Structure 1
Amino acid sequence: MLDVRKLRLLRELAHRSTIAAVAEALSYTPSAVSQQLTALERETGVALLERTGRRVVLTPAAHALVAHTETILAALEQASADLAASRTVLTGALRIGAFPTAVRTILPPALVDLSRNHPDLELMVTELDPATVPDAIRTDALDIALLQEYDYVPAEPDPALETEHLLTETIYLAALDAEPLAARRDDSWILGTPGTLCHTMTVRACQAAGFTPRVRHHADDFSTVLALVSAGQGVALVPELGAMTRPPNVVLGALAARRTTHMAFRRGRGSHPGVVAARNALRASASAIGDGYS
């Protein structure tokens, strides 16, 4: 019978491409990962990896096995959820991941709701960039997290995850005047850290308007971004949640682009009582915030 732990390693290699990355993500040594994958090849009786120097590439048989692995892991998650549902009291750790603006806005009311209704739950919050959410959920570092996509940066589906829509926001151009985006070719720009979704979104939105932004500052906290705009240090694109406390001299110009936030959890885990409670609390909080700025 195939070993689920080895199958998880193969699945992560399909996502991360290198044995070193798999080892780092799952707290193994690279040699241990290699040994486990070699043992999996022996168990299956087929070649799963093609080795070229230091690189490994999954064979067609390996990709087929990864697809089966997603189904197997989802079934195990569903079994765990069914067992948890049989308990009368909701206990244990509930690990929630959220991006910074959600930690300040959506999450606090949800945490109050969860603490009041389920006092035996141990709530654990991690602030992280949405780009890292799929890996964190897939490797069981989080139970539920908020996943983002922008109109200019659509999210790639991950077969290990289930998602549920939570909130859609307008994207604003934040500046000291009301000039449109297309007129900002010569302005200085404030962008997020390279590699973040916010950075990619801004670059692509500007390119769609016919220019590449001239980056002057990098900042990931939208309060900091707006403070820099207020100080005349440049212009920026800011989503609705990040613009809720703008300085009085900052002008917000609504764009056609939107940011969408989804709740994400491992496939098969959506009916787990802890995840259900978190989904309900987050949905109620986001709805109240949406009513406040609509």
Structure 2
Amino acid sequence: MLELRRLRLLRELDHRGTIAAVAQALAFSPSAVSQQLAVLEREAGVPLLERTGRRVRLTPAGRNLARHAEALLERLELASAELIDARRGLAGPLRIGTFPTAARAILPAALIELSRRHPALEPMVSEIDPAAIGDALRAGELDVALIHDYDFVPQASTPGLTVAPLCAESMYLASASPLDAPPDQVIARCEAADWITASPGTACHQMTIRACQAAGYTPRVRHRIDEFSTVLALVAAGQGVALVPHIGTFDAPPGTVLTRVPIRRRTKVAFRSGGGGHPAVAAITEALRSSVPVGLDAE
């Protein structure tokens, strides 16, 4: 009989590509992952892995079994949702991952609404690097998460996860002085300006770089700041220009000029595939939809 825990490891290896990455994501040692996969091979009775030096890849049989593992794990999420629904009561921890602006502008009102409707639920919120959210959801460290993408940086699909749209918002060019240009020319007019971007490797940083490249140039980056309130403070101090989403502009200091540009940021709710019917996931999603701030478009 194939053991589900080992099938999960195989699924993760198919997704991540290395035993070290699987071990890091699931808090195992690499040797433990290797041992469990060796046991799974013996249970399966056919080779599941091909080893070339230190590298490991799945055989055709291994890839096929990984696809079945994906389906089994999705069915397990569905079964869990049905069991909770049968108990007719929501209680216990609900682990929510989020990015900073959503934690400030969307989640507080949603948690108030969730508490009103389901007082026995215990939401536990963690700010988490968007790049790590997929791993945390798949590993069971989070139950649901808020993620975002931009027009120039669409969200890549992740096996084992389902994403539902929540809301969309406009982006603004923040500057210390007005820009006399139509919206589609605002970024092009800033070619000679210093820019403030998020840290390299983030979606926000990629969005700024690609938006400028679409306008015909590569921006000259002076500051790299992730917190939008700090970005706006630097803009007001004449340190450069920046692209900021609508909910990042709520604390814009005096002297900041915000010019709307034709770029959108979209916020979405992510959860494990099969978990959309989980009562707790459905409850927080409903609360989030009812708490979308003014100025954002519900989707």
Offset at 1:73? 0.4
Paired-residue identity, %? 58
Match of 1:124 in 2: 124
Q: Is the 8 A contact 1:202 1:237 kept in 2?
A: yes
Match of 1:269 in 2: 275
- May I ask how many residue pairs the two structures share in their alignment? 292
Q: Is the 8 A contact 2:100 2:127 kept in 1?
A: yes
- Residue 153 of structure 2: aligned partner: 153
Quick one: distance in 1 between partners of 2:165 and 2:7? 30
- Provide closer, same or farther for how the CA distance between residues 36 and 291 of structure 1 changes in structure 2, counting only shifts above 3 A: closer
**Alignment match of 1:289 (pick from 285, 294, 299):** 294
Matched, 1:16 2:4: no
Q: Does 1:25 align with 2:31?
A: no
- Aligned counterpart, 1:108: 108
| Kept after mapping to 1: 8 A contact 2:168/2:296 | no
Offset, 1:26? 0.9
- Write the deviation string for residues 57-91 of structure 1: whole angstroms up to 9, x where unpaired: 22333222222111110101100100000123211
1:200 equivalenced with 2:213 (yes/no): no
Post-superposition shift, 1:292? Answer: 9.7
Question: How do residues 214-293 of structure 1 correspond to structure 2 at under 5 angstroms?
Answer: 214-286=220-292, 288-290=293-295
Q: CA deviation at 1:225?
A: 0.8
Instruction: Kindly state the Cα deviation for residue 2 of structure 1 after the two structures are TM-superposed.
Output: 1.4
Moved more, 117-126 or 97-106: 117-126
**Worse-matched range after superposition: 234-243 or 58-67:** 58-67
The answer to whether the 8 Å contact 1:97/1:127 transfers is yes
User: 2:217 is matched with which residue?
Assistant: 211
Residues 131, 197 of structure 1: 8 Å contact kept: no
Tell me whether 1:40 sits opposite 2:46 in the alignment: no
1:118 maps to a residue whose letter is H
Please give the TM-score of this superposition, normalised by the length of structure 2.
0.93
Q: Secondary structure at the match of 1:289?
A: coil
> How high is the TM-score relative to the length of structure 1?
0.94
**What's the RMSD between the two structures over aligned residues?**
1.7
**1:53 alignment counterpart:** 53
Aligned equivalents of 1:201 and 1:22: distance in 2? 29
How much has 1:291 moved relative to structure 2? 6.3
Q: Map of 1:53-202 to 2, 5 A cutoff?
A: 53-179=53-179, 180-202=186-208
Whether the 8 Å CA contact 2:2–2:43 is kept in 1: the answer is yes
CA contact (8 A) 2:232 2:256 kept: yes
The question of whether the paired residues in 2 share the 8 Å contact of 1:81 and 1:271 is answered with: yes
What is the CA deviation profile of residues 202-255 of structure 1, one whole-angstrom value per residue up to 9, with x for unaligned ones?
A: 111111111112111111111111111111111111111111221231111222
CA displacement at 1:133 relative to structure 2: 1.8
Secondary structure of residue in 2 paired with 1:285: coil
Query: For 2:178, what is the secondary structure of its paired residue?
Result: coil
Secondary structure in structure 2 of the residue aligned to 1:2: coil
Q: Which amino acid aligns with 1:96?
A: I
Q: Is the 8 A contact 1:47 1:61 kept in 2?
A: yes
Deviation at 1:95, TM superposition (A): 0.6
Deviation at 1:131, TM superposition (A): 2.6
What secondary structure sits across from 1:86 in the alignment? helix
Contact 1:106/1:289 (8 A) holds in 2:
no
C-alpha displacement of 1:274: 0.9
Deviation at 1:108, TM superposition (A): 0.2
What amino acid maps onto 1:224 in structure 2? Answer: T
Aligned-residue offset at 1:22: 1.1
Secondary structure at the counterpart of residue 275 of structure 1:
helix
Residue 258 of structure 1: how far off its partner (Å): 0.9
Q: Give the whole-Å Cα distance in 1 for the aligned partners of 2:24 and 2:5.
A: 16
Asked if 1 retains the 8 angstrom alpha-carbon contact of 2:169 and 2:297, the reply is no
Name the SS of the counterpart of 2:291 in structure 1. Answer: helix
Range moving further from structure 2, 99-108 or 114-123: 114-123
